[in-house]
Structure 1
Amino acid sequence: MLRAAPVSLGSVSARERAGVIRLELLTGNEQRAGEVSLDELDAIVADPRHLLWIDLEDPTDRDFMLLQREFGFHPLAIEDARRRHERPKLDIYEDYLFLVFYAARPSESDQLFTTQELSLFIGKNYLVTVHHEPCPEIDAIAERWREQADQIEESKQRVALLLYTLLDTIVDNYFPILDALAERTDRLEEEIFEGRDRGALEELFQLRKRLLALRRVVGPERDVLNLLTRRDIELLGPDTAVYFQDVYDHILRVTDAIDTYRDLLASALDAYLSVVSNNLNQVMRTLTAWSIILMSLALIAGIYGMNFVNMPELRLPWGYYAALAGMATLGISLLIVFKRIDWL
């Protein structure tokens, strides 16, 4: 049956620890609860009938020392699990795999989504997951495995199925983020073309920045899943390649969608710049048209404002009214012309 219980390793009690260790044990004839000693852990791992899942949340240095001592993990793998912001990757060791993967979930803030790093040690009959914050995906997968314990126990590649379930859940959680990106992109395009583009440029660059951040995570993960689809990884078995191929297809869809939305944002940026340029051109046309009209009127006023003695029009009784009529005629004519060519 499948058991889930908080456990402490060795003589370190749960109250003395900053992190949380959870153990999931799939076995045919035993029930476990409470403490699991190091001797018992060795016996569990040594028995191929058992499938052990150890989940460490916010582990301490002592936790990593215990892992290295009990499982014989390479110091470089322990160092990568301890440090944050590692690049997604798959390291193949002699009797286990070390995998770095990122979970992502939607966020209500301007960041649009948050990512969480997961480090996984995969052995023949055990899986060790390490993360520094609470991970909802872990809880969901643990519950899913409790419900399917009988089916899992009959499988020959149980650790591969557990790994597949975890990766499939993580990758599927990328799609709500893409839906939110698509919705914000569509709304942004509408605001741009409807003229409600105040702050649009800042939001455009923010979306492109977040898309780039997601692409930096998903791109290496695609390469990792491509490695897992190979049938020559003896630890996982050739029959499980089809499961990882399914996850690989999903992450390909995610990658294609990211590239598509990035192109859409580039098009939206071009559209925004075109709208701004057109608005600026219209303003320049309007200013030019009024400048020409006023300069024409100022030309007439300037001619008859000169202080020459020999200007016969200045002595005509109707000269003033004729100048005003000429200025009005010229101004109205120019106004009509600019209206027709859509400059005003």
Structure 2
Amino acid sequence: MKISSTKNISQKTGLPPGSLVHVGNHMQGHTDIEIIQFNEDSLAEITPKSADECFKQLSPDTLTWIRITGLGEIDKIEQIGSDFGIHPLLLEDILNTSHRISIEDFESYICTIFKILSYDESSGHIERDQVSLIFGENFVISFQERPTAIFNPALDHIRNPKSRLRKMKSDYLFYTLMDMVVDNYFVLVEKLGDMLEVLEEEIIENPSYATINKLHLMKREMIHLRKAIWPFREVLNRLQRSDSELIYDSTLMYFKDVYDHIIQVLDTIESFRDILSGMVDIYISISGNKMNEIMKVLTIMSTIFIPLTFLAGVYGMNFKYMPELELPWFYPWFFYGMLAAIALAMLAFFKKKRWI
């Protein structure tokens, strides 16, 4: 996972609290707004010409979902915030895409900030995009850094006249969008699980320095992943305990279900971290065994050559009286034969002891 960007953070220095500056990785220059307005009997999808049309579209007879994609046009976001009575400090947090997962419960609306996590095949890193959801009595506003397809299934459900979403209140749409983010975590975790299996096979079959580098990178990704998801538990805990009139009792059980899913994701990440630690131990063990094999071969070779070196040294000395030196075939038959016999005898001994 890439470390959170501090791009444009210097522009906030010296500004009063609530000053709106977009801080983040994806500096999309424009902001797209889409309005989906529906109830059990009707559906309208509107592309407003200006930001102030969003508030004007609200109706007590329909549920309005305002999708905001891209955080580059500050004036549009400021206009929407002013029309809907969103606190400037909250807008500041929405524009700061390095903000941690959080929840703010106001009297007329509830806001949550959390992360969409996905694996980028090209970079080999986990990408993180911030999503902010605000819901009130008859509206939901979603803020996204850049276009993603993660909420498209919700739109498909809304377009279905028989879907549950068409009959429910804003808190249920809020739950649905949050649940889709959590479901995407399962997709990411499954991808990481497949990568761990490949890495485990690589460690056993062909461990190398590149393998241990992959292990350390994966461990670092798991740490960042856990850090990004862990605060989600507190968000869901507060939603379950909330006494806000915006959350109906019929929706609380759904938040409990999302909470269980988050716990399952975190448990899986913890198990992956344990597996990675075990894989590091396996790599060290395999590397140690390889070194032991090398040392064993070198030791056997050295042991065999010790007596041979001794004999060569004895007969290489400059003595005058060595009777066997007068024999014409002593070296070819006796000396070299004796060396070969010693070497073979030692090899047979090592074989019997199962050292080789």
Amino acid in the other structure paired with 2:179: D
Cα 1:341–1:183 shift into 2, 3 Å:
farther
CA RMSD across the alignment: 2.6
SS in 1 for 2:108: coil
Aligned pair count reads: 325
Distance 1:187 1:29 in 2: 50
SS in 1 for 2:134: strand
Which one of the candidate residues 131, 152, 169 is aligned to 1:118?
131
Could you list the per-position Cα deviations for residues 87-139 of structure 1 after superposition, in whole angstroms to 9, with x for gaps in the alignment? 11112223222211112234333526433210122222221111121021223
Asked if structure 2 preserves the Cα contact closer than 8 Å seen for 1:231 and 1:241, the reply is no
Cα 1:186–1:29 shift into 2, 3 Å:
closer
Asked if structure 1 preserves the Cα contact closer than 8 Å seen for 2:36 and 2:44, the reply is no
Asked if structure 2 preserves the Cα contact closer than 8 Å seen for 1:286 and 1:343, the reply is no
Which one of the candidate residues 289, 299, 311 is aligned to 2:310?
299
Amino acid in the other structure paired with 1:262: R
Which one of the candidate residues 99, 111, 123 is aligned to 1:86?
99
1:135 corresponds in structure 2 to: 148
1:177 corresponds in structure 2 to: 188
Distance 1:33 1:333 in 2: 92
Could you list the per-position Cα deviations for residues 240-275 of structure 1 after superposition, in whole angstroms to 9, with x for gaps in the alignment? 110111111111111111111111121111111111
Asked if structure 2 preserves the Cα contact closer than 8 Å seen for 1:89 and 1:101, the reply is yes
2:36 corresponds in structure 1 to: 24
Amino acid in the other structure paired with 1:324: Y
For structure 2, which runs of at least 5 residues remain unmatched after alignment?
1-28
The two structures have a TM-score, normalised by structure 2, of: 0.82
Q: Does 1:261 align with 2:275?
A: no
Could you list the per-position Cα deviations for residues 17-69 of structure 1 after superposition, in whole angstroms to 9, with x for gaps in the alignment? 82101111125679674647777644554x54332211111131102210221
Which one of the candidate residues 331, 339, 343 is aligned to 2:351?
339
Cα 1:286–1:102 shift into 2, 3 Å:
same
The two structures have a TM-score, normalised by structure 1, of: 0.84
SS in 1 for 2:143: strand
Deviation of 1:337 after TM superposition, in Å, equals: 2.6
1:12 corresponds in structure 2 to: none
Could you list the per-position Cα deviations for residues 135-183 of structure 1 after superposition, in whole angstroms to 9, with x for gaps in the alignment? 212233222222157744543xx11100111011111122222222222
SS in 1 for 2:122: coil
Distance 1:31 1:199 in 2: 54
Asked if structure 2 preserves the Cα contact closer than 8 Å seen for 1:92 and 1:98, the reply is yes
1:209 corresponds in structure 2 to: 220
Could you list the per-position Cα deviations for residues 256-297 of structure 1 after superposition, in whole angstroms to 9, with x for gaps in the alignment? 111111111211111111111101110011011111212321
Distance 1:38 1:86 in 2: 24
SS in 2 for 1:308: coil
Q: Does 1:56 align with 2:68?
A: yes
Amino acid in the other structure paired with 2:251: T
Q: Does 1:67 align with 2:75?
A: no
Distance 1:50 1:253 in 2: 35
Asked if structure 1 preserves the Cα contact closer than 8 Å seen for 2:151 and 2:180, the reply is no
Amino acid in the other structure paired with 1:219: W
For structure 1, which runs of at least 5 residues remain unmatched after alignment?
1-16
Cα 1:149–1:101 shift into 2, 3 Å:
farther
SS in 1 for 2:150: helix
Q: Does 1:162 align with 2:173?
A: yes
1:309 corresponds in structure 2 to: 320
Greater alpha carbon shift after TM alignment, 130-139 vs 34-43:
34-43
1:3 corresponds in structure 2 to: none
Amino acid in the other structure paired with 1:165: T
Asked if structure 1 preserves the Cα contact closer than 8 Å seen for 2:157 and 2:165, the reply is no
SS in 1 for 2:215: helix
Asked if structure 2 preserves the Cα contact closer than 8 Å seen for 1:120 and 1:130, the reply is yes
Greater alpha carbon shift after TM alignment, 295-304 vs 197-206:
197-206
SS in 2 for 1:288: helix
Asked if structure 2 preserves the Cα contact closer than 8 Å seen for 1:293 and 1:334, the reply is yes
Greater alpha carbon shift after TM alignment, 208-217 vs 261-270:
208-217
